[in-house]
Structure 1
Amino acid sequence: MEGKLHERVYILKNRILFVDDEQNVLDGIRRQLRRRFNIDTALGPDEGLRCFEEGGPYAVVVSDMRMPGMDGIRFLNRVEQLSPFTIRMMLTGNADQQTAIDAVNKGNIFRFMNKPCPMETMTMHLEAALLQFELVHAEKELLENTLKGSVEVLVDILALTNPVAFSRAERIKYYMSQCVQALGRHDIWKFEVAALFSQMGYVTIPVEIMEKSFAGQELTEAESAMLEEHAKDIYRMIDKIPRLEDVGKMIEVMDSGYCGDYEEDAAVLGGQLLRAVIEFDKLMLQGARPYQALHTMRQSAVPFHDTILKLLEAVEPPHVEKTVKCIPVHDLHIGMVLAEDVRSTSNTLIVSKGQSVNGLLQRRLSNFLQQKIIGDRIRVYEERQGFTV
């Protein structure tokens, strides 16, 4: 993974885009910097945005402040939306204090430079920006791959200890990911990790109680209290992991019944989405069609925000291939999807229907077969479901 990270950063690190409304300025920059950096230029903000949309991403963008149609601050704001990890810098002849303040506060820029800028100074700032890009990009890779991968290992373990919770975690992650993608956010990994973690607390709860809850059966007071504690158990686990502050907050507020104004803050939005997605999945598990589940949710005593319900309306249901075949357990391959619950000879649930076979599950079922705890044949779908973990 480390080699791939350095390769990706190397490919991007020399890509710098200069945006100005004066062609002679761009020509001068290209002449003086092209031997040291990989320079692209764009004449004006509209062309600059096209460069990002058609040829991006760039490691660094340097924009003039005063340009017709769109000033540098607005342009850099648009760049941040298109490519949030690009390092943004401003070069301008308008060196008044308010311009600098607006550029830093509204454009979230890394450096502010005055025209004319000596090439030695420009080179120093560009090298600092490229280094900053490498640091930001490395952190992004760490969070999205290393940390997320570690969470997925934990979920694999959950699959072995509590198959009902794992099966649900897959579905919740699937719904959550589609909703967040529809919002155009760039921090999808946080929401996916929160979805996976949302069921982790169930590892302490007997499978029989979970099955009763998911089926909508009446629970005893003690069983209800046990279920209510699971979110606190998850939060206590996450609180010990650095960089998961937003994920922990999502888990903390998901059962709070918060139904205020729609928020773009990751933690608040994630908590609202989790609550809605979990309820949606529960109703679907009880046999409701998607439109019936959404209708029930709209009648809830503690309402869900309409924007979030509309996101769920647009979720594409996971594809499930209906063709089923029965194969020997030793013929199971990684990636196959179980078409039925796997239960022991004493009727204890081992694995839930719909779970994708991974290496751990493959070995576990093989061991159970050797001990004659399960039968020697198992039903699987011919094609993989739309769930991935």
Structure 2
Amino acid sequence: MTQNPPVLFVDDDENLLMGLKRKLRGKFDFDTAVGPLQALEKIKAGNKYSVCVADMRMPDMDGVKLLAEVARLSPDTVNMMLTGNADQHTAVEAINRGHIFRFFNKPCEDEDLIAGVKAGLRQYQLITAEKALIEQTLAGSVKVLTEVLAQLNPAIFGKAMRAKLWCDTIAKQIGYPHPWELGLAALLAPIGYVSLPPEILARLGEDKPLQPLERDVVRRTPEVARKLISNIPRLEQVAGIVYLQNRNFDGSGFPAEGPLGTEIPLGARVLRIFNDLGKIVESDLVVKQHFDELRHQPKRYDPELLDKIEALLAKEDPSYDKVAYPKGTEHDIYLKALRMGDFLLTDIETREGQVLLAHGNYVSEIQLQRLRVFQELHQFHEPIRVRRGGQDPEITIREGS
């Protein structure tokens, strides 16, 4: 059986700690810290502890605050407190904030302390054993779901993987409490597509237009996803995020009833942005122009969150470097990668022969919005050729007027 990590005793009285070392030597592995700051330094340095026994009254930080921080930094550690002031307020605060497993009143008999620590070690074994079992179940279940999705439609799975990478990049910076949860939600967001007929899946993977009834079926796939994911232990929050991934910030979207604004879970607000960002980003390069396009639909997204994500993800597009490319750069692109300010070198034409935008023009905001609507209904000749960067469109227009 794997040996438990040592027990940590924390007290500002170094003589008391020396006495504990003499009494407890040979009973179990343990470490000591003179005061709360040294204890936190040890944990932050990567030391693992099965049990932490802390005195209540210490300078710099009392036992309640210390154990609350220990619970945050090392959630599996079982916390205990030594106190000569076990009043009701102290007890309630310690239990609520410090996740206290057991109290010891000073002075504490050696036998009681040893018995209590051994109980703490058994509790640690239970916690870690259950966690290992759940994590193995979780990992296996998620692996099955993602493999199903990858086999079902590699293109859709690829987009989900990219969204997961975006989530992994921004999770800590936006203050997401459990980053793994956000990345997993992005990866499993399209799992509801398993309920779709093959022909709809194929068109989705190729970004082809859908009929109204087909769009309605696709719109409800988060409901299927929630039912699948909620059967996996510890993924209740992920299931809720995935279910609300298409709920708009103003309360519109799917589902029709539910939270709005900042009451929508943070993870769902992130997915709402990344779902649409994934439709217009063609490569690994995410640029400011992509977020400019998202802002055409301001009611969909949390504006503060959108600004934060742009600051974290958006890069400078080298094709707009006027020093390196004074005449701009030419690109063959698909329509979903078209941006405001692109100069058209070929017509944008539907397969039926309708020219939506003629070559020789810069793409405006209104034209781009109109094109996105048409893309939902028609197929176009692709790729098209554009020029990016170079002279400012406004300057060119004035010179030609």
Tell me, yes or no, whether TM beats 0.5: yes
The reply on whether 1:257 has 2:254 as its aligned counterpart is: no
For 1:18, give the aligned amino acid. Answer: F
Residue in structure 2 matched with residue 272 of structure 1 by the alignment: 269
Match of 2:299 in 1: 301
Equivalent AA in structure 2 for residue 275 of structure 1: R
1:221 to 201, 212, 215: 212
Q: Distance in 1 between matches of 2:301 and 2:18?
A: 58
CA gap of 1:139–1:81, structure 2 versus 1, over 3 A, is: same
The reply on whether 1:143 has 2:141 as its aligned counterpart is no
In structure 2, relative to structure 1, the CA distance for the partners of 1:312 and 1:147 (3 Å cut) is farther
1:48-70 C-alpha deviation (Å, 9 max, x unpaired): 11111124221211111111111
SS of alignment partner, residue 199 of structure 1: helix
Return the TM-score normalized by structure 1. 0.70
Contact 1:14/1:59 (8 A) holds in 2: yes
Give the structure 1 partner of residue 280 of structure 2. 283
Alpha-carbon distance in structure 1 between the residues aligned to 2:106 and 2:310: 50
Is 1:109 the counterpart of 2:100? The answer is: yes
Q: In 2, Cα distance between the equivalents of 1:110 and 1:312?
A: 43
Greater alpha carbon shift after TM alignment, 32-41 vs 191-200: 191-200
Which of 214, 221, 244 aligns to 1:230? It is: 221
CA distance in 2, matches of 1:110, 1:308: 42
Cα-Cα RMSD = 2.9
For the residues of structure 1 that align with 2:306 and 2:122, how far apart are their CA atoms? Answer: 39
Match of 1:166 in 2: 157
1:178 deviation in Å? Answer: 2.6
Tell which structure's C-alpha radius of gyration is larger: 2
Deviation of 1:42 after TM superposition, in Å, equals: 0.9
Tell me: CA distance 1:21–1:177, structure 2 relative to 1, closer, same or farther (3 Å): same
Partner amino acid, structure 2, of 1:306: E
Q: 2:50 maps to which residue?
A: 59
Query: Secondary structure of the residue that 2:194 maps to in structure 1?
Result: helix
- Paired AA for residue 274 in structure 2: V
Give the ranges of 4+ consecutive aligned residues of structure 1 lying more than 4 Å apart after TM superposition: 183-186, 206-218, 258-263
Which of residues 104, 111, 120 is equivalent to 1:120? 111
- 2: CA distance between counterparts of 1:206 and 1:295? 34
Alpha carbons 2:5, 2:48 under 8 Å: kept: no
Whether the aligned pair in 2 keeps the contact of 1:14 and 1:130 (CA below 8 Å) is: no
Higher mean alpha-carbon deviation, 236-245 vs 119-128, is at 236-245
Identity rate, percent: 37
Q: Deviations over 1:112-157 (max 9, x none)?
A: 2211111221122212222222222223333334312321122112
Partner of 1:329: none
Which one is further off, 180-189 or 60-69?
180-189
Q: 1:204 aligns with which of 195, 200, 203?
A: 195
Alpha-carbon distance in structure 2 between the residues aligned to 1:244 and 1:178: 21
Please give the per-residue CA displacement for 1:77-124, whole angstroms capped at 9, x wherever unaligned: 222222222221111111222111111112222112211111221122
Aligned to 1:96: 87
Q: Determine the C-alpha separation between the residues in 1 that align with 2:305 and 2:129.
A: 34
Q: What TM-score, normalized to structure 2?
A: 0.68
- Which among 289, 292, 316 is matched to residue 292 of structure 1? 289
CA deviations 1:354-382 (Å, max 9, x no partner) are: xxxxxxxxxxxxxxxxxxxxxxxxxxxxx
CA shift, 1:47, in A, is: 0.9
1:25 aligned partner: 16
CA distance in 2, matches of 1:122, 1:77: 21
Aligned residues: 305
CA 1:287 to 1:31, structure 2 compared with 1: closer, same or farther past 3 Å? closer
| SS across alignment from 1:148 | helix
